[in-house]
């Protein structure tokens, strides 16, 4: 299996309708197609309705799966995305979708997420990965997050990260074990 792959479908459908997949960008990236990698992946599908609602008709979608999440693959993918965007003379919007800490009490989750956020805010991908792995922080999409940050710095050296909101599932449905969320721009 490839460390990164694409979904081969030419369109996605949500309750808001169809959205085209950017097959031109897919061809330019040259990553293999692997529909099986997308089969149980839900991080993109929960974002699609928002993309359709706010950017309907103005964008195409390309989902990238990262089987092997590490800062090396994240930087490599960011470089490939930047090169493809430059070659196609396009601006691309990267969105990384991931839950943060899973199934801990809200206090522990907040503390673990804070440990992960510290290096993210400094664009220190190596330290972010190190903390996720050694502290067993269950951020399922840490590879795409690192890719987004690496890409942002390639596009604009003065890029910064702003935390918009933090929360957890227990705020909606009280529970002893929650899933944490962090919205960043």
Nearest to 3 by CA among 42, 31, 25: 31
User: Cα(first)–Cα(last) distance of the chain, in Å?
Assistant: 32
Contact in structure between 99 and 180 (CB atoms under 8 Å) = yes
Contact (Cβ atoms closer than 8 angstroms) between residue 109 and residue 168: yes
Q: How does residue 98 score in pLDDT terms, banded at 50, 70 and 90?
A: confident
Tell me 32's DSSP state.
P
Q: Please give the pLDDT value at position 139.
A: 86
Distance of alpha carbon 48 from the chain centroid: 13
Supply the pTM of this predicted model.
Answer: 0.91
User: How many other CB atoms are there within 10 angstroms of residue 46's CB atom?
Assistant: 10
Asked if residues 105 and 177 have their Cβ atoms less than 8 Å apart, the reply is: yes
More confident site: 35 or 149: 149
């Amino acid at each position: 299996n490839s460390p990164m792959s694409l979904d081969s479908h030419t369109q996605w459908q949500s309750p808001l309708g169809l959205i085209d997949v950017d097959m031109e960008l897919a061809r330019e990236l040259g990553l293999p197609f692997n529909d099986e990698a997308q089969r149980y992946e839900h991080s993109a599908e929960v974002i699609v309705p928002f993309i359709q609602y706010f950017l309907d008709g103005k964008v195409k979608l390309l989902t990238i799966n990262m089987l092997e999440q590490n800062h090396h693959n994240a930087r490599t993918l960011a470089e490939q995305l930047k090169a493809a965007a430059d070659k196609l003379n396009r601006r691309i919007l990267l969105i990384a979708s991931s839950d943060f800490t899973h199934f801990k009490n809200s206090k522990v989750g907040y503390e673990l997420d804070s440990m992960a956020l510290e290096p993210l805010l400094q664009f220190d991908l190596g330290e972010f990965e190190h903390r996720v792995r050694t502290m067993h922080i269950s951020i399922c999409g840490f590879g795409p997050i690192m890719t987004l940050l690496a890409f942002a710095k390639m596009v604009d050296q003065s890029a910064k990260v702003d935390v918009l909101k933090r929360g957890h599932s227990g705020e909606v449905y009280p529970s002893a074990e929650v899933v944490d969320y962090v919205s960043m721009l």
